[in-house]
C-alpha cells in the first residue's frame, strides 16, 4: 500500500559553535592565521561584523601557509591552498534533485563554480536494482518487495517467471546434493558470464576508479564528502524515518543538495519554513519520499581558486597583485613592476596554472622597446620556451616569433577600424607592415597590397602568413627602409594605383612623411593623378595631443595647409596618447620641387 510521503528531518547538531581560521591583521594579505571561535549567531542581521559571503582562502580550515622568504625558496605548495568548509546538505532522491534545486535555489549554496547538486560515493544504485527497490516510489514497499524477490530469486510467491541461468543454477545448487551434481557437469558453464563481458565490466570498474581518483586528487577543484555517518551508513538523520515514523529510509539513488553556508551546522528546526514547505509538498505528492539533512565537508583545492585570489595570499602586504597580461597565441606576456621581480617565477607559475591549456608559456618583458625592429627582450618565466606562436585575428592566422618580430594584440581594434574603411577598389601600401596583421587582413578586402618592413624576420613571417592565408597572390612583399620604399613605389608605375598608405611606426612615422614631398616633381604640374589617403600613427604627451601631432605632420611635409582628420587611438601610458592622422596627400606636396634627399 502506498502512503503519502513526508519530510523526516531532525537535527542532531550541537549548539552551533565552530572554529574558523581568520587572518590576524589585514584580511587581504595576512598569512598569519589564528583560530577564533565564532557563534553561528554571526549570521543574524544584528551582528555588526558579519563574515563575508562566499568562498575565500581566508575562510574554512587550512594548512598553515608559508610566506615565501626569497626567490630561491619560491616554490608554490599547491596543498597550502586546500580549504575545507563544513556545510549542511539535503540528501534527496536523485530523480527529484533538479526540480528541488530549482525550487530551493535561494537556500542552496551559490558559490562560483561549485555545483550545488553533489554526488558522493554510494549515491548511485544499480539502475535495475533501483527500479525494483524504488518501484512506485515506494522506497521498498510491497511492490518493491515482490520485484526484489523476483530479481533475487527469479520468482516471487505465485509468480510464474522463467528463471534466469544464474537463478536456475542457484536453484539447482540448493536442490541437489553432491551426488546430484554429477549429473550436471556443465553446471558451472550455465551460469558463468561470458569472458568478454567480464572483461568489459573490469574495464568499466577501472574507469570508475580513475574517475574517483581524479576527483579526490589535486586536479579536481572541489570534492564533497558526507561526514558523521552513523553505523548503518546513513547520514546523521539516516534512521530518523524509522525511528519517528516507522518507515524505511529511501533506498534508491540519491543526491546531495548543498545548503547555503548560513545553514551550516543548523538543525532541522532551524531551517527556514520555506525549505520545509517545499520538501513537505514533494513528500505529500510522492509516496514515501524521504529527505535527510546531513553534514558534509566541501573541500576546495588549489585548482579552485582564481589567479588573483592565490596571488593575493602569496604576495606580501602592500604589493599590488598583477591582474592583467597580454596574450599572444599560447604566450602570456607580463609586464611586471620592480616590486614583483622577487616573486616573478611564482607569479608566472600561477598565471600558467590558472590559464592552461590556452597559455603554455609565461614571459616577462625585460626592457622597454628601443630597437628599430620594435622587438621586445623577453624572459621565459614558466612553461615551454617556444616564442613562436600562432595568433588568430578576425579569422586570419598569423605566425609570429616574439623573439624576432613585433606583435601587439592591443592594436586589433584599431586595425579593424582601419579595415572597415577599405573597399575592393583600394590598393594599399603598408610601409611598416610587421608580420602583416593589417596587410594580410586588408588583402582579403582590397585589390592589392604592397607590404614592407625593415626587419628581415618580419618579412619572412609576412610571406609565410600570406601563404598560410592563401593571399600571396594579392600581396607583394618588400624588405627595405620605409622612406626608400615610399620613394621606390612612387617612382614606379605602381604609383597611380595606390589609394591608401598606412604608416604604423608611432615613434617616428610622421617624420617619414617627408618622403612624399616631390614624388611627382618630374611630372607636368597639371597632370591628372591619384593622390593617396595617408594614415599615419604617432604618440604625443602634449597637453593638446592633436595639435602637437598635426604640427609634426606639417613640419615633415613642409606644408602649412594640410586638412587632417585626427583620432585618439588609445592611452598607452599616463598622459601619452597614440593618435592616428588621416589625410589626402596635398597636391602641392606631391608636385613640390624641393624633394628632400636622404
Ligand X SMILES: C[S@@+](CC[C@H](N)C(=O)[O-])C[C@H]1O[C@@H](n2cnc3c(N)ncnc32)[C@H](O)[C@@H]1O
Q: Does 454 bind ligand X (CB under 6 A)?
A: yes
144 is annotated as contributing to ligand binding: no
Residue 198 to residue 157: CA distance in whole angstroms: 32
Burial of 472: CB neighbours in 10 Å, binned 0-12, 13-18, 19+: middle
258 is annotated as contributing to ligand binding: no
353 is annotated as contributing to ligand binding: no
**Grid coordinates belonging to 408:** 601587439
Q: Does 437 bind ligand X (CB under 6 A)?
A: yes
CB 237 within 8 A of CB 294: yes
Among 89, 505, 578, 592, binds ligand X (CB under 6 A): 505
Residue 340 to residue 351: CA distance in whole angstroms: 13
- Estimate the crossing angle of helix 273-285 against helix 94-104, to 10 degrees: 140
Which lies closer to ligand X via its Cβ, residue 126 or residue 372? 372
Question: Whole-number minimum distance, CB 354 to ligand X, in Å?
Answer: 28
Question: Whole-number minimum distance, CB 479 to ligand X, in Å?
Answer: 9
Which lies closer to ligand X via its Cβ, residue 319 or residue 480? 480
482 is annotated as contributing to ligand binding: yes
Size of the site for ligand X (CB under 6 A): 20
The DSSP-derived string for 1-47 is --------------S-EEEEEEESS-TTT---EEEEEEEGGGGSTT-
Among 267, 482, 538, 545, binds ligand X (CB under 6 A): 482
Query: What residues between 405 and 424 interact with ligand X by CB under 6 A?
Result: 406-408, 411
Which lies closer to ligand X via its Cβ, residue 8 or residue 457? 457
The DSSP-derived string for 515-583 is GGTTTTTTS-TT------EEEEEEEE-SSSHHHHHHHHHHHHHT-S----EEEEEEEEETTEEEEEEEE
Residue 497 to residue 369: CA distance in whole angstroms: 35
Which lies closer to ligand X via its Cβ, residue 276 or residue 483? 483
CA angle 268, 273, 276 (to 5 degrees): 60
Task: Please identify, among the stretches 75-83, 297-305, 367-375, 391-399, the one whose residues bind ligand X according to the rule CB under 6 A.
Answer: 367-375
Q: Does 438 bind ligand X (CB under 6 A)?
A: yes
Question: Whole-number minimum distance, CB 443 to ligand X, in Å?
Answer: 14
Among 56, 134, 361, 504, binds ligand X (CB under 6 A): 504
Decide the pairing of beta strands 83-93 and 254-258.
antiparallel
381 is annotated as contributing to ligand binding: no
- H helices, E strands: number in the chain: 17, 20
Q: Does 453 bind ligand X (CB under 6 A)?
A: yes
Which lies closer to ligand X via its Cβ, residue 110 or residue 479? 479
Residue 47 to residue 469: CA distance in whole angstroms: 64
Residue 226, φ and ψ in degrees, nearest 5: -85, 135
Question: Whole-number minimum distance, CB 504 to ligand X, in Å?
Answer: 4
The C-alpha cell 524477490 sits at 149
Question: Whole-number minimum distance, CB 541 to ligand X, in Å?
Answer: 18
Task: Please identify, among the stretches 306-314, 390-398, 450-458, 557-565, the one whose residues bind ligand X according to the rule CB under 6 A.
Answer: 450-458
128 is annotated as contributing to ligand binding: no
Among 326, 373, 548, 582, binds ligand X (CB under 6 A): 373
Residues placed in the known binding site for S-adenosyl-L-methionine: 415, 453-454, 481-482, 504
Binding positions for ligand X, rule: CB under 6 A: 372-374, 406-408, 411, 432-434, 437-438, 453-455, 458, 481-482, 504-505
Residues placed in the known binding site: 415, 453-454, 481-482, 504
Amino acid at each position: 500500500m502506498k502512503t503519502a510521503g513526508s519530510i523526516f528531518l531532525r537535527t542532531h547538531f550541537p549548539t552551533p559553535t565552530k572554529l574558523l581560521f581568520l587572518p590576524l591583521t589585514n584580511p587581504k594579505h595576512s598569512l598569519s592565521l589564528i583560530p577564533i571561535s565564532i557563534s553561528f549567531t554571526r549570521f543574524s542581521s544584528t551582528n555588526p561584523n558579519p563574515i563575508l559571503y562566499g568562498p575565500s582562502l581566508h575562510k574554512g580550515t587550512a594548512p598553515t601557509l608559508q610566506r615565501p622568504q626569497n626567490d630561491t625558496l619560491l616554490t608554490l605548495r599547491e596543498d597550502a591552498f586546500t580549504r575545507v568548509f563544513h556545510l549542511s546538505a539535503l540528501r534527496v532522491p536523485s530523480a527529484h534533485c533538479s526540480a528541488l534545486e530549482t525550487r530551493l535555489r535561494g537556500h542552496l549554496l551559490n558559490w562560483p563554480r561549485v555545483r550545488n547538486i553533489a554526488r558522493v560515493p554510494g549515491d548511485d544504485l544499480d539502475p535495475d536494482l533501483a527500479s525494483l527497490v524504488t518501484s512506485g516510489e515506494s522506497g521498498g514497499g510491497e511492490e518493491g518487495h515482490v520485484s526484489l524477490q523476483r530479481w533475487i530469486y527469479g520468482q516471487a510467491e505465485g509468480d510464474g517467471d522463467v528463471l534466469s541461468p544464474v537463478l536456475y543454477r542457484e536453484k539447482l545448487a540448493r536442490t541437489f546434493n553432491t551426488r546430484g551434481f554429477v549429473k550436471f557437469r556443465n553446471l558451472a558453464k550455465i551460469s558463468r558470464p561470458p569472458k568478454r563481458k567480464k572483461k568489459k565490466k573490469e574495464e568499466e570498474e577501472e574507469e570508475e576508479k580513475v574517475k574517483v581518483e581524479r576527483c579526490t586528487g589535486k586536479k579536481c577543484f572541489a570534492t564533497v564528502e558526507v561526514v558523521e555517518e552513523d553505523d548503518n551508513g546513513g547520514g546523521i538523520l539516516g534512521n530518523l524515518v524509522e525511528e519517528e515514523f516507522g518507515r524505511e529510509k529511501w533506498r534508491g539513488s540519491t543526491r546531495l543538495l548543498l545548503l547555503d553556508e548560513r545553514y551550516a551546522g543548523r538543525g532541522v528546526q532551524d531551517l527556514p519554513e520555506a525549505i520545509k514547505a517545499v520538501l513537505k509538498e514533494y513528500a505529500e505528492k510522492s509516496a514515501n519520499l524521504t529527505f535527510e539533512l546531513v553534514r558534509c565537508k566541501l573541500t576546495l583545492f588549489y585548482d579552485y581558486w582564481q589567479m588573483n585570489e592565490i596571488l593575493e595570499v602569496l604576495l606580501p602586504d602592500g604589493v599590488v597583485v598583477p591582474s592583467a597580461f597580454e596574450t599572444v597565441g599560447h604566450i602570456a606576456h607580463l609586464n611586471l613592476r620592480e616590486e614583483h621581480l622577487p616573486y616573478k617565477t611564482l607569479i608566472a607559475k600561477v598565471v600558467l596554472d590558472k590559464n592552461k591549456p590556452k597559455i603554455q608559456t609565461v614571459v616577462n618583458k625585460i626592457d622597454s622597446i628601443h630597437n628599430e625592429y620594435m622587438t621586445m627582450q623577453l624572459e621565459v618565466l614558466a612553461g615551454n620556451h617556444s616564442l613562436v606562436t600562432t595568433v588568430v585575428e578576425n579569422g586570419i592566422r598569423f605566425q609570429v616569433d616574439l623573439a624576432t618580430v613585433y606583435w601587439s594584440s592591443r592594436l586589433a581594434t584599431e586595425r579593424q577600424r582601419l579595415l572597415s574603411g577599405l573597399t575592393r577598389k583600394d590598393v594599399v601600401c603598408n610601409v611598416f607592415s610587421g608580420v602583416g596583421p593589417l596587410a594580410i587582413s586588408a588583402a582579403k578586402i582590397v585589390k592589392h597590397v604592397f607590404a614592407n618592413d625593415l626587419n628581415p624576420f618580419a618579412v619572412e613571417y609576412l610571406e609565410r602568413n600570406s601563404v598560410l592565408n592563401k593571399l600571396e597572390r594579392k600581396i607583394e612583399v618588400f624588405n627595405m627602409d620605409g622612406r626608400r620604399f615610399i620613394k621606390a613605389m612612387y617612382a614606379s608605375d605602381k604609383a597611380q594605383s595606390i589609394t591608401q598608405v598606412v604608416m604604423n611606426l608611432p615613434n617616428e612615422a610622421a617624420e617619414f612623411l617627408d618622403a612624399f614631398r616631390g614624388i611627382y616633381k618630374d611630372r607636368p604640374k597639371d597632370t591628372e593623378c591619384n593622390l593617396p589617403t595617408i594614415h599615419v600613427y604617432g604618440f604625443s604627451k602634449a597637453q593638446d595631443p592633436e595639435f602637437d601631432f598635426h604640427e609634426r605632420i606639417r613640419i615633415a611635409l613642409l606644408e602649412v595647409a594640410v586638412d587632417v582628420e585626427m583620432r585618439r587611438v588609445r592611452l598607452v601610458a599616463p598622459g601619452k596618447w597614440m593618435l592616428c592622422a588621416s589625410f589626402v596627400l596635398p597636391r602641392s606636396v606631391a608636385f613640390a620641387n624641393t624633394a628632400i634627399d636622404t
